[in-house]
Chains A and B, each alone.
Chain A
Amino acid sequence: MNYQGIRAALENPILTAFTNLSPAVPVFFDNITAAPLGSVTEYVTVNLTFGITNEVTLSSSVDHARGAIIIRVYCEKGKGPARNQTLITTAVNVIETLNATAKTNSGVFFRTGDIEGPTFSTTEDPPLFEGRIETSYIATVLS
């Protein structure tokens, strides 16, 4: 099972999308020590988790994993949801692009389920406002 490949299939395009924004928005992934403790500027966290992996499939030549993707976007509080929604749209676009990517002979074939959210939380300590989306995924390692 190529967990690293599956993780990279989602995390790389997410990182690229947010880095290409102007200004770039920092993205934090699992087990990154530079977690934004007490941050006062906007940022994104991506949590890709594994549920059932190595599921029996029709062919034994592939690895198959299921899991969840939870993306949280933090923006300035008290300024309306527009900026948060803009950043969430960036994440959703990446997921939708992954979903539309055709299956090839190698690499990781990635499909996600319905995207839940965004749900917004105003209970954050100022100055941040949280938006969250989550979805399921199925990833198949083809090589």
Chain B
Amino acid sequence: MAKEPRLTGFITKGGRRVAGSRKRDARLGLLTDKLMKKINDGARNAAVQVMNDLGKEGPVWSGEFRDSWIAVSRQEGGSVASSGSYPYDLSNVPKLSLEQKEQVKKIEITNTSKWAEYALDLKKGKFTPKNFPRPKDGRPLHPKGDVVATGKRDPDSLTFRGEISGGDGGARITAPLDWYSTYLKGGKFKKALRKGLQMGFKGKK
């Protein structure tokens, strides 16, 4: 069996990282179709891992936000996957072309819910009974997800979704404040990428 070409970037047996670049790999013809397929499979598996992590870590009141994560191809003329719901699978991530070998960022994950900015704790809102939840609009009175904290909210000013004060009060949240930043920066995001890439290279689906 022919030995696979060695990429310009690699880690030595001693753990030393040797820098390489995708551009150089492509120019040198090192990115064979077989290898590109593994890289693409890895990226798609990683996207599934991340989308399911986001669904698991994020708030779940009606479930609309959790079911609104989508993966979009960043390749030119990239394919479109079916939008799914939690738990996500590979059919919810677009297939990637074996061409465009130099492209590193292949997939973008985004949330299409109109509540996304609030759910991500990026925008303040009024989460009072008048505005949220609204059973008459189909939003349940009680959350579908587990409540992680209860407390009080300031009824007169805007607050972040996860921003409640301790003590008695009827406010409930299903994910802690800044859960999204914690996911991205607390190591879980990197772990999901690593796991997905490993799955791609081992051929697991």
Contact = CB atoms under 8 A, between A and B. Distances in A.
Interface of A: 31-33, 35, 37-38, 47, 49-52, 55, 66-68, 70, 113, 121, 123-125, 134-137
A135 B185 CA distance: 7
Contact of B178 (A31, A47, A55, A135): A47
Contacts of A49: 176, 178-179, 181-182, 186
Interface string B169-184: 0000000111101111
A29 B60 CA distance: 25
Given A37-B157, A38-B154, A51 B178 contact: no
Report, as a range, how many residues of chain B touch the other chain.
20 to 34
Given A68-B178, A123-B124, A33 B154 contact: no
A67 B186 contact: yes
A51 B188 contact: yes
Contacts of A125: 157-158
Contacts of A50: 182, 186
Contact of B182 (A67, A113, A123): A67
A66 B186 contact: yes
Interface in B125-181: 152, 154, 156-158, 163, 165-167, 176-179, 181
A52 B183 CA distance: 9
Chain A contact residues, majority secondary structure: strand
Give the most central of A35, A67, A121: most B CB within 10 Å: A35
A98 to B, nearest CB: 16
29 contacts: A31-B166, A32-B166, A35-B163, A35-B165, A37-B152, A37-B154, A38-B156, A47-B177, A49-B176, A49-B182, A49-B186, A51-B182, A51-B183, A51-B185, A51-B187, A55-B187, A66-B186, A67-B182, A68-B178, A68-B181, A68-B184, A121-B124, A123-B158, A124-B158, A125-B158, A134-B181, A135-B185, A136-B184, A136-B186
